[in-house]
Amino acid sequence: MTSRDQNLVSTEWLEDHLDAPDVIILDASWYLPTEERDAQAEYRQEHIPGAVFFDIDAHSDRSSDLPHMLPNTVAFSSAMRKLGVGDGQKIVIYDGAGLFSAARVWWTFKTMGASDVVVLDGGLPKWKAEGRALDSGTEKKMERHFTARLDHGRVRDLGEMKRNVETTREQVIDARPAARFKGEAAEPRPNTRSGHMPGSINIPFNLLLDDQRCFKSNADIKAVFDGAGVDLSRPITASCGSGVTAAVLALGLELIGIDSYGLYDGSWSEWGQDNLDTPVVTG
């Protein structure tokens, strides 16, 4: 099985496995506040049959002022048990944008030690475009035992990122749009500076996706990283605005067989804060 098969499934595959007892489907839709969309209400209106709703903000570190930071393992295990996610299941994640927030939840589960977690390529838009079945309302699953073990190697914090600016041991790839990366466009969060970390490389996450919001071929994904000047033989850390689209880059790396990477959980919502002395570059 290839790295792509281990992390991505097609709509055809999922339709064939809707009733499989060892498969749990999660609707992980989340939208930027500026989009004014209610992900949970949209889930109740229509979702893939059997899917339960995974709330990115509810299943996060509620003590942090930063958006949807990783929770601790005890809280996450408890929440997943109540959701019906258990050890030994294949966890299939999708979102309503096609391929956006599902990658963040994929990374969360991988970081929490889940061994079999995949993203639905093209998500709900592709599923609907193909005329596949939909349900409404909410789904309730039986509680199952879920064991979370944090993989520290997949996460970077502020201290590590500050040190990396000095050492440049890891390449930092930033998934935000080019205008925000360059400091030409304002950040959507208040009290946040514009620009990027010194030495970081801009790879807007949508460059890895095709017009249907599916991942491009492995060759094309590799060409995007190569074209941006990323050395795939060296360690990499992904960042973005709040740790969501950075996970699209992380998933793209996994698809092409690169597993030596981390994700900066606080991302620009932390680094770019007005009250921090973190260096910011524009242009």
For residue 76, what is the domain's CATH number?
A: 3.40.250.10
Amino acid 109: pLDDT: 98
Q: Please identify every residue annotated as catalytic.
A: 240
| Domain-located, residue 279 | no
Mean of pLDDT over the chain? 97
Choosing from 119, 150, 181, the residue where a domain stops is 150
Q: Say whether both 58 and 179 belong to one domain.
A: no
Angle at 30 between CA 110 and CA 203, to 5 degrees: 70
Per-residue b or e along 208-225, where b marks 16 or more CB atoms closer than 10 Å to that residue's CB: bbeeebbbbeeeebbebb
| Domain-located, residue 203 | yes
Q: Say whether both 104 and 187 belong to one domain.
A: no
Q: Say whether both 145 and 12 belong to one domain.
A: yes
Q: Say whether both 47 and 141 belong to one domain.
A: yes
Number of domains in the chain: 2
| Domain housing 105 | 3-150
Q: Say whether both 17 and 104 belong to one domain.
A: yes
Choosing from 109, 130, 150, the residue where a domain stops is 150
| Domain-located, residue 276 | no
How remote is the C-alpha of 6 from its chain's centroid? 16
CB atoms within 10 A of CB 139: 17
Q: What is the DSSP string of 33-53?
A: GGG---HHHHHHH-B-TT-EE
Q: Say whether both 64 and 201 belong to one domain.
A: no
Angle at 244 between CA 122 and CA 219, to 5 degrees: 50
Cα–Cα distance for residue pair 91/71, rounded to 1 Å? 19
Amino acid 33: pLDDT: 83
pTM for the whole thing? 0.97
Query: Could you tell me the maximum CA-CA distance found in the chain, to the nearest angstrom?
Result: 52
| Domain-located, residue 215 | yes
Q: Say whether both 85 and 38 belong to one domain.
A: yes
User: Amino acid identity of 66?
Assistant: L
Amino acid 34: pLDDT: 84
| Domain-located, residue 199 | yes
CB atoms within 10 A of CB 1: 5
Q: Say whether both 52 and 145 belong to one domain.
A: yes
Q: Say whether both 35 and 170 belong to one domain.
A: no
Instruction: Enumerate the H helices of 85-183 as residue ranges.
Output: 101-111, 123-129, 158-167, 178-182
C-alpha distances (whole Å) from 65 to each of 137, 214, 241, 273 are: 32, 32, 14, 12
| Domain-located, residue 19 | yes
Choosing from 121, 150, 179, the residue where a domain stops is 150
Amino acid 138: pLDDT: 96
Q: What is the DSSP-derived secondary structure letter of residue 231?
A: -
Amino acid 260: pLDDT: 86
Residues in a beta bridge with 119 = 8, 93
The tens place of each residue's pLDDT in the chain, 283 residues long, gives: 899 999 999 999 999 999 999 999 999 999 988 899 999 999 999 999 999 999 999 999 989 999 999 999 999 999 999 999 999 999 999 999 999 999 999 999 999 999 999 999 999 999 999 999 999 999 999 999 999 999 999 999 999 999 999 999 999 999 999 999 999 999 988 999 999 999 999 999 999 999 999 999 999 999 999 999 999 999 999 999 999 999 999 999 999 999 889 999 999 999 999 999 999 999 9
Instruction: Tell me the percentage of the chain whose pLDDT exceeds 70.
Output: 100
Q: Say whether both 12 and 142 belong to one domain.
A: yes
Asked whether 80 and 146 are in contact (CB, 8 A), the reply is yes
Q: Say whether both 28 and 139 belong to one domain.
A: yes
Amino acid 99: pLDDT: 97
Q: Say whether both 41 and 112 belong to one domain.
A: yes
Of the candidates 251, 277, 261, 270, the residue with the CA atom closest to the CA atom of residue 4: 251
